[in-house]
Structure 1
Amino acid sequence: MPHIGDLVAEMLAQYGVELVFGMPGGQTTALHDGISRRQDRIRHILMRDERNAAYAADAYARLTGKPGVCDVTVGPGANLLPAGFLEALNASIPMVGIVGELPLDWLPLKEKGIASQGFDQLSFFKTCTKDAWLVPSITALPELIRTAFRVATAPRPGPVALIIPHDIFDAEWDEDLVKIAVDDRAKAIPYLRSTAPGEDIQAAADLIRRAKRPALVCGGGVHGSDAAREVTGFADRLGGLVVTSLSGKGSVPETRAYAAGVLNPLGSWAAIELIKEADLVIWCGSKVSQNTGMNWSLPTPEQATITIDSDPLEHGRTFRPTIPLLGDVREIVTALDAALGASLAPVNRDWLARIAEVKAEGERVKAAETASAAIPIAPPRVMAEIAARLGEDDIVVSDASFSAGWIAGYIPAKTPGRQFLFARGQGGLGYSVPGAIGAAATRPEARIVTVAGDGAFSYTVGELATQAQFNQKIVNVVINNGRLGWIQLWQEIFFKNVQSAMLETQSVQPGYAGAAEALGLKGIYVEKPDDIGAALDAAFAHDGPSVVEVRIDDRATPIHSFKRRMQEGEDTARPRPGTVYKLRDWKISPDLPEPEARAADPAETEPAEG
């Protein structure tokens, strides 16, 4: 007779889940048994660490729009999930964690591990998920699985935890008594699409017509809505600036003349300069976080704003928008485009010329950086070599810290869609290697390229064994500066003499290419810039995973303020005790004045080229 592990596996398969990432335990073996009998529809990917199971599931969810599913056993397996859950929670990524538990009648013995591995898992997961449930009975399980998928995918998406006791997992499943059914609306995000009222759409269209220097800021919500093509079409007609958050990279191809790259302190200099000059900013699927909002200096008091988001709580968190548009990004952008119709205001040629001017200045600087022959190697040179080899279907997985900035600024998004995976919900180190495992399992036909510093790479280096086991097409690029680069520069700039972020000594320098070879991957070490191309060619041609370790300049940084301080030798005092860090005043964004009457030149309404 089938058991409850079969019930769970069958419901996962019916929800369209092809892959489950995790680590088995005695309490969850019934699930693995159920999956093993459904290999034609669902497979399990064994990870080396439960934390990494959540990261791999996160990458699967970003690339498919389906909830990423991970499984862990009770206790030590469960307590490793929060890093990945918090990343998914803050980044609005749908995820379902299946968590083992002690038998129901053992629960009074869970405190202090009296019953082995026990602790209060329900309270624990309530703090790092959208919601968590302890399954009380066999008959309640199907409805709780449906609830888990609905909550994970409904606006705003995020992770949930379903805690299943051991005795329930191992029990027999009487299919005549316990019926299963799935809610097909919850198979992928968005759970439901909605749009704003017609009068709000019209008001926003009128505001756009009055704008002389419009700007569009695209966040991860564009990809969550699968709206990159619609947003690109809208941007082509807007005749203004387009920038993205890190998570929104790829919302619009960065090859467009009006696209200025990533708006972030470690992103595009042109984006940072130009966004301040806009008179209207349309925040599209962006929560205007600390980094995209440039420490909440944006929007400026003079800028009118339109916010597009499916989460009502995002329309006024740090500023009150001129016009809030509550609903699905794709639906609203489509409605807004239709409302503008042929009456879109004439393109402001001065604004487009200004965008071109600032972009050109930024590109001149970047060209010199990417052509650098310096030793140790300049990271922009590495990124340019990677960019030259990427195909349209390839996926780039970023780790946290400086790696995100090097990718954002020097590897352009050439097509609309989610080709870049950034762990920006938490910004924690260690995402890239397990994220690549999830991406490669999801898109086996694609080449996956990761970029990580040596600090971030050290966190999850053990998962290289998983890449090797499944012979995945992954090129792991480790830019090794021998330190935690961001922290070390912060310590030097603001504290002058702290040396706690060094990862090596003169006598001991960890070798990541050598470690890769020992774990069954191809490993290549690069010290000279002229050798980067050949190393990447060999890695891309290799039938399996590889690690390309590049020794880089330990003073290199993509953070513009850090660059300026080091170039100017500015003597910046460290923050003093009692310093108050204050969120800027909450404000109401203004409306724009009515436009001056002028005839529209049809030639001026053509989309920007590029």
Structure 2
Amino acid sequence: MAHIGDLVAEMLAQYGTDLVFGMPGGQTTALHDGISRRTDRIRHILMRDERNAAYAADAYARLTGKPGVCDVTVGPGANLLPAGFLEALNASIPMIGIVGELPLDWQSLKEKGIASQGFDQLTFFKSCSKDAWLVPSVTALPEMIRTAYRVATAPRPGPVALIIPHDIFDAEWDEDLVKIVIDDRARKAPFVRSNAPSADIARAAALIRRAKRPALVCGGGVHGSDAAAEASAFARKFGGLVVTSLSGKGSVAETEPYAAGVLNPLGSWSAIELIQEADLVVWCGSKVSQNTGMNWTLPTPEQATITIDCDPMEHGRTFRPTVPLLGDVREVITALDTALGDLVDRPEWMARIAEVKAEGEAAKAAEVASKEIPIQPPVIMHEIAKRLGEDDIVVSDASFSAGWISGYIPARKPGRQFLFARGQGGLGYSVPGAIGAAATRPDARIVTVAGDGAFSYTVGELATQAQFNQKIVNVVINNGRLGWIQLWQEIFFKNVQSALLETQSVKPGFAGAASALGLKGIYVEKPDEIGAALDEAFAHDGPSVVEVRIDDRATPIHSFKRRMREGADAPRARPGTVYKLRDYKISPDLPET
């Protein structure tokens, strides 16, 4: 007779989940046994660390809109998931963690690990997910799987944990008694879509028409709603500036004349300059986080605002919008596009956008032409950009890598082709994220960019890339230190401590490590070697690592650049001594014309 591992595998397959990322344990072996009989519809990708299973599932979810599914065993497997769960929770990425558990009647023995590997997993996962459940019986399991898919994909999407006791997983499955029924609406996020009231749509459209210098900020919610095409169509008639958050990169093509790149302290100089001049800012699928809101200096007190979001809590969290539009991003943008009517022509504003963009592009052109040794990262990004195909995917690690990618590798078409770990901003996302992306899009080339600090987190997972012979080019920009930390300590403390990752006698070699793990490894020290190295990596039939030695003073953060230019004999005021609670703002209306 079939067992409950078969039931779980069958329900996953019927929900359209074709990949599961994780590590087996004794308590979850039934799941892998069930998957093995359905490999025409669902496969398991073995990871080498449970943390990385969540990151791989996260990438799968971002590229498909379907919940990313990861599996871990009880105890030491389960306690490694939260890094990926928190990334998904903060970034609104649908995810389902299938977690092994001790037998139900052992629950009193979990404390202090009296029963091997036990601890209170339910309370643990409730702290880092949308919700978590302990399955109480075989008959309850189908309903709980349906609930997991519905909650994961319902606005606002996020991760959930389904904790299945060992005795339930291994139990026999009486298919006549315990039947499978799925709700196919929950195969992809969002589970349901809503729209803002027509009166609010009309108010917003009128406000846009009255604006002289409008700006549209597209956040990750655009991709979460699968609305890049609609956002791009709206942007063409909007008659104003368009920028994105890091997670929203690709909401519109950055080659458009009105697009000024990523709004972030480490993003586009043009975006940062121009957004200050806007009289109206439309925040579309953006939570106006500390970074996209430029440390909450945005919106300014003078700027009128429109917020578009499916989450009612985002219409007044850090400021009160002039017009809140509560609803699914795709539905609201479509309605707003219709209400706006014909293209709004603002020649003076468009000329100003072109002027500032030209200044920014001239500065970038000088940077990418650098012949300096050690190498400047913009040179590397420029060479990567020249080689990317139309459907290739770029996976960024956290910290400076996100800035180098966002500023120097343009999104040439609408769609989610750039994956940034910005929900939690933790190091170590790119290598496992690339595994998930390559398994999801096997015909695309996946390119990762990570500093040596971030890359060190997941070097072992390169063996997974090699095992599956994935088309991944891992670019390691190696400065021998934690670059952000070094500059922070230097600027604010004048005392760099615990930031160096090498010594004169010990210099970790990532290209060499890659070769030892079965990948092609290439080391680059000079600018004129970059092109040939990337050509070799892109032509390789399998994964590779291109390690590039870079300037340890290079930074994409504009405020860091300014402070280093200005110099100072004494440390600047430590940020913890000058932080203050942001002022709550009430956005004004624009005058009638």
Normalised by the size of structure 2, how large is the TM-score? 0.99
Kindly provide the CA deviation profile for residues 434-469 of structure 1, in whole angstroms up to 9, marking residues without a partner as x.
Answer: 000000000000000000000000000100000000
CA distance in 2 between partners of 1:577 and 1:417 (Å) = 37
CA distance in 2 between partners of 1:311 and 1:172 (Å) = 41
Is the CA contact 2:59–2:419 (under 8 Å) kept in the aligned structure 1?
A: yes
User: What letter matches 2:145 in structure 1?
Assistant: I
Shift of 1:578: 7.4
User: What letter matches 2:268 in structure 1?
Assistant: S
Is the CA contact 2:492–2:574 (under 8 Å) kept in the aligned structure 1?
A: no
Q: What is the DSSP-based 3-state SS (H/G/I as helix, E as strand, rest coil) of the residue aligned with 2:283?
A: strand
User: Against the structure 1 CA distance between its residues 472 and 561, is the aligned structure 2 distance closer, same or farther, given a 3 Å change threshold?
Assistant: same
Equivalent residue number for residue 229 of structure 1: 229
Equivalent residue number for residue 440 of structure 2: 442
Shift of 1:570: 3.8
Query: Is residue 2:128 matched to residue 1:135?
Result: no
Shift of 1:500: 1.3
CA distance in 1 between partners of 2:102 and 2:369 (Å) = 59
CA distance in 2 between partners of 1:110 and 1:561 (Å) = 50
CA distance in 2 between partners of 1:194 and 1:351 (Å) = 33
Which residue, out of 586, 589, 592, partners 2:590? 592
Shift of 1:579: 2.2
Shift of 1:350: 1.1
Query: Is residue 2:108 matched to residue 1:108?
Result: yes
Equivalent residue number for residue 541 of structure 2: 543
Equivalent residue number for residue 567 of structure 2: 569
Q: What is the DSSP-based 3-state SS (H/G/I as helix, E as strand, rest coil) of the residue aligned with 2:387?
A: coil
Q: What is the DSSP-based 3-state SS (H/G/I as helix, E as strand, rest coil) of the residue aligned with 2:45?
A: strand
Is the CA contact 1:398–1:452 (under 8 Å) kept in the aligned structure 2?
A: yes
Q: What is the DSSP-based 3-state SS (H/G/I as helix, E as strand, rest coil) of the residue aligned with 1:486?
A: helix
Aligned CA RMSD, in angstroms, stands at 0.9
Equivalent residue number for residue 68 of structure 1: 68
Query: Is residue 2:160 matched to residue 1:160?
Result: yes
Shift of 1:573: 3.4
Structure 2, gaps ≥5 residues long: none
User: Against the structure 1 CA distance between its residues 570 and 259, is the aligned structure 2 distance closer, same or farther, given a 3 Å change threshold?
Assistant: farther
Shift of 1:575: 3.8
CA distance in 2 between partners of 1:270 and 1:511 (Å) = 37
User: What letter matches 1:503 in structure 2?
Assistant: L
Shift of 1:83: 0.1
Query: Is residue 2:316 matched to residue 1:316?
Result: yes
Q: What is the DSSP-based 3-state SS (H/G/I as helix, E as strand, rest coil) of the residue aligned with 1:201?
A: helix
Query: Is residue 2:290 matched to residue 1:290?
Result: yes
Is the CA contact 1:22–1:45 (under 8 Å) kept in the aligned structure 2?
A: yes
CA distance in 1 between partners of 2:61 and 2:495 (Å) = 43
User: Against the structure 1 CA distance between its residues 150 and 577, is the aligned structure 2 distance closer, same or farther, given a 3 Å change threshold?
Assistant: closer
Kindly provide the CA deviation profile for residues 511-546 of structure 1, in whole angstroms up to 9, marking residues without a partner as x.
Answer: 000000000000000000000000000000000000
Alignment of 1:380-391 (within 5 A): 380-391=378-389
Shift of 1:190: 1.0
Is the CA contact 2:27–2:74 (under 8 Å) kept in the aligned structure 1?
A: yes
Q: What is the DSSP-based 3-state SS (H/G/I as helix, E as strand, rest coil) of the residue aligned with 2:341?
A: helix
Equivalent residue number for residue 418 of structure 2: 420
Is the CA contact 2:483–2:552 (under 8 Å) kept in the aligned structure 1?
A: yes
Kindly provide the CA deviation profile for residues 255-281 of structure 1, in whole angstroms up to 9, marking residues without a partner as x.
Answer: 001100000000000000000000000
Query: Is residue 2:350 matched to residue 1:352?
Result: yes
Equivalent residue number for residue 16 of structure 2: 16
Equivalent residue number for residue 302 of structure 1: 302
Equivalent residue number for residue 496 of structure 1: 494
Equivalent residue number for residue 377 of structure 1: 375
Alignment of 1:79-228 (within 5 A): 79-228=79-228
Equivalent residue number for residue 531 of structure 1: 529
Shift of 1:572: 6.2
Q: Percent identity?
A: 87
Alignment of 1:427-466 (within 5 A): 427-466=425-464
Is the CA contact 2:494–2:570 (under 8 Å) kept in the aligned structure 1?
A: no
Shift of 1:471: 0.1
Shift of 1:499: 2.3
Which residue, out of 509, 530, 545, partners 2:507? 509
User: What letter matches 1:392 in structure 2?
Assistant: E
User: What letter matches 1:318 in structure 2?
Assistant: T
Structure 1, gaps ≥5 residues long: 596-610
Is the CA contact 1:398–1:407 (under 8 Å) kept in the aligned structure 2?
A: yes
Q: What is the DSSP-based 3-state SS (H/G/I as helix, E as strand, rest coil) of the residue aligned with 1:97?
A: strand
User: What letter matches 1:63 in structure 2?
Assistant: L
Normalised by the size of structure 1, how large is the TM-score? 0.96
Shift of 1:577: 9.6
More deviation, 49-58/233-242: 233-242
Shift of 1:43: 0.1
Equivalent residue number for residue 3 of structure 2: 3
Equivalent residue number for residue 47 of structure 1: 47
Is the CA contact 1:132–1:161 (under 8 Å) kept in the aligned structure 2?
A: yes
Q: What is the DSSP-based 3-state SS (H/G/I as helix, E as strand, rest coil) of the residue aligned with 2:76?
A: coil
Which residue, out of 362, 365, 368, partners 1:364? 362
Is the CA contact 1:296–1:583 (under 8 Å) kept in the aligned structure 2?
A: no
Equivalent residue number for residue 242 of structure 1: 242
User: What letter matches 1:528 in structure 2?
Assistant: K
Equivalent residue number for residue 340 of structure 1: 340
Is the CA contact 1:75–1:119 (under 8 Å) kept in the aligned structure 2?
A: yes
Shift of 1:354: 0.7
Kindly provide the CA deviation profile for residues 306-362 of structure 1, in whole angstroms up to 9, marking residues without a partner as x.
Answer: 0000000000000000000000111111100101113x54x2211111111111111
User: What letter matches 2:300 in structure 1?
Assistant: T
User: What letter matches 1:67 in structure 2?
Assistant: P
CA distance in 2 between partners of 1:334 and 1:498 (Å) = 51
Equivalent residue number for residue 482 of structure 1: 480
Shift of 1:193: 1.1
User: What letter matches 1:91 in structure 2?
Assistant: A
User: What letter matches 2:128 in structure 1?
Assistant: C
User: What letter matches 2:265 in structure 1?
Assistant: P
User: What letter matches 2:552 in structure 1?
Assistant: D
Kindly provide the CA deviation profile for residues 7-37 of structure 1, in whole angstroms up to 9, marking residues without a partner as x.
Answer: 0000000000000000000000000000000
Q: What is the DSSP-based 3-state SS (H/G/I as helix, E as strand, rest coil) of the residue aligned with 1:579?
A: helix
Q: What is the DSSP-based 3-state SS (H/G/I as helix, E as strand, rest coil) of the residue aligned with 1:317?
A: coil
Equivalent residue number for residue 275 of structure 1: 275
Shift of 1:584: 1.6
Q: What is the DSSP-based 3-state SS (H/G/I as helix, E as strand, rest coil) of the residue aligned with 1:499?
A: coil
More deviation, 534-543/349-358: 349-358
Is the CA contact 2:490–2:571 (under 8 Å) kept in the aligned structure 1?
A: no
Equivalent residue number for residue 602 of structure 1: none
Q: What is the DSSP-based 3-state SS (H/G/I as helix, E as strand, rest coil) of the residue aligned with 1:53?
A: helix
Kindly provide the CA deviation profile for residues 77-111 of structure 1, in whole angstroms up to 9, marking residues without a partner as x.
Answer: 00000000000000000000000000011110001
Alignment of 1:464-475 (within 5 A): 464-475=462-473
User: Against the structure 1 CA distance between its residues 364 and 577, is the aligned structure 2 distance closer, same or farther, given a 3 Å change threshold?
Assistant: closer
Shift of 1:576: 5.2
Shift of 1:208: 0.4
CA distance in 2 between partners of 1:501 and 1:49 (Å) = 25
CA distance in 1 between partners of 2:481 and 2:521 (Å) = 21
Query: Is residue 2:511 matched to residue 1:521?
Result: no
Kindly provide the CA deviation profile for residues 159-194 of structure 1, in whole angstroms up to 9, marking residues without a partner as x.
Answer: 000000000000000001111111111000111111
